[in-house]
């Protein structure tokens, strides 16, 4: 049987190669934290990178557009601006996310809805908009930023965990629907990463989490960025969930 042709993107087999073709990358929620590290990692390799956030604030050296992922019209305008600046989006990193933690009995419907609307429906809106051009190009990479708690569960985070678990079903459905058109959709599932989101946790809570992580420490934003780049560079990994959690979820 002849060996199957490699599905690794020829343009990125050697990211340091001068022959490598830069890609148009869009990172939602890319003005700080994990999203910013991901955006900087792509930019460092020479890709054309745009970041979005509600404020539209531009980190140094990156192209930025304001977009609220809960608003389709605002997203559409942002995608159009990015396309005009750097060409159709070839790599989408759906990273924007929020938490509104509360125990189930005390959680309001508004807080449940807001988290689902941003984390899950927001990612779906971005994927729907991005795949329009990806289908035309017969090529595209989508990476959804989920969380270890999507599959592990977490008390006080029923809204957040449900939204992050939903991203797995979303990615796998996109993978099945569009895999034949050269589009992959994968998930990274970070554990506890040093960002604003985790810095605000009480010290006792942080210590408790650390004691349950085999690595014994929180991760760095760059650990997540490396995982996102791996998924963006490999055309034969599709519908996968890649944990970046120091072993907390044991690979689930």
CA distance 71 to 87: 22
Pick left, alpha or beta for residue 29 (phi over 0 → left; psi -120 to 50 → alpha; otherwise beta).
Answer: left
* Min separation Cβ 223 and ligand NDP, Å: 11
**Residue closer to ligand NDP, measured from CB, 97 or 140:** 97
Residue 15 or residue 158: which is nearer to ligand NDP going by CB? 158
Please answer whether residues 218 and 199 qualify as being in contact, where contact means their C-beta atoms are separated by less than 8 angstroms.
no
Looking at beta carbons only, is 175 or 225 nearer to ligand NDP?
Answer: 225
Nearer Cβ to ligand NDP, position 183 or 193?
Answer: 193
Q: C-beta of 4: minimal distance to ligand NDP in Å?
A: 34
Q: Which is nearer to ligand NDP, 5 or 196 (CB)?
A: 196
To the nearest whole angstrom, how small is the minimum distance from the Cβ of residue 48 to ligand NDP? 19
Cα distances (Å, whole numbers) of residue 138 to 85, 178, 180, 184, 235: 21, 9, 9, 11, 12
**In b/e form, how buried is each residue of 124-141, taking b as 16+ CB within 10 angstroms?**
bbbbebbbebbeeeebbb
Binding site for ligand NDP (CB under 6 A): 28-29, 31-35, 53-55, 67-70, 95-98, 118, 145, 147, 190, 192-193, 195-198
List of residues 6+ apart from 162 with CB closer than 8 A: 116, 120
Six-digit token string for 175: 């993978």
| Residues 244 and 144 sit within 8 Å (Cβ to Cβ) | no
For 160, phi then psi, to 5°, come to -65, -45
CB of 233 to ligand NDP, least distance (A): 20
Task: Name the minimum Å distance from CB 201 to ligand NDP.
Answer: 9
CA–CA distance, 104 with 137 (Å, rounded to integer): 44
Q: Which residue has the tokens 């939204």?
A: 163
Length of the chain: 252
Residue 152 annotated as catalytic: no
Just list the catalytic residues. 160
């Amino acid at each position: 049987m002849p060996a199957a042709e490699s599905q690794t993107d020829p343009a990125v087999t050697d990211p340091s190669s001068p022959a490598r073709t830069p890609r148009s990358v869009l990172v939602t929620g890319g003005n700080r934290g994990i999203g910013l590290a991901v955006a900087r990692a792509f930019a460092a390799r020479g890709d054309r990178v745009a970041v979005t956030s509600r404020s539209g604030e531009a980190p140094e050296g990156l192209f930025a557009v304001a977009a609220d992922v809960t608003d389709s019209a605002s997203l559409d305008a942002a995608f159009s601006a990015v396309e005009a600046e750097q060409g159709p989006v070839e790599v989408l990193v759906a990273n924007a996310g929020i938490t509104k933690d509360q125990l189930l009995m005390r959680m309001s419907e508004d807080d449940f809805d807001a988290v689902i609307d941003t984390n899950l429906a927001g990612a779906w809106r971005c994927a729907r908009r991005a795949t329009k051009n990806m289908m035309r190009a017969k090529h595209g990479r989508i990476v959804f930023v989920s969380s270890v708690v999507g599959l592990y569960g977490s008390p006080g985070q029923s809204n957040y965990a449900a939204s992050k678990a939903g991203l797995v079903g979303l990615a796998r459905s996109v993978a099945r629907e569009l895999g034949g058109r050269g589009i992959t959709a994968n998930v990274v599932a970070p554990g506890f990463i040093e960002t604003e989101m985790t810095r605000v946790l009480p010290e006792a809570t942080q210590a408790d989490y650390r004691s349950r992580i085999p690595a014994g420490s929180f991760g760095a934003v760059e650990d997540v960025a490396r995982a996102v780049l791996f998924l963006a560079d490999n055309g034969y990994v599709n519908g996968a969930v890649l944990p970046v959690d120091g072993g907390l979820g044991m690979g689930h």
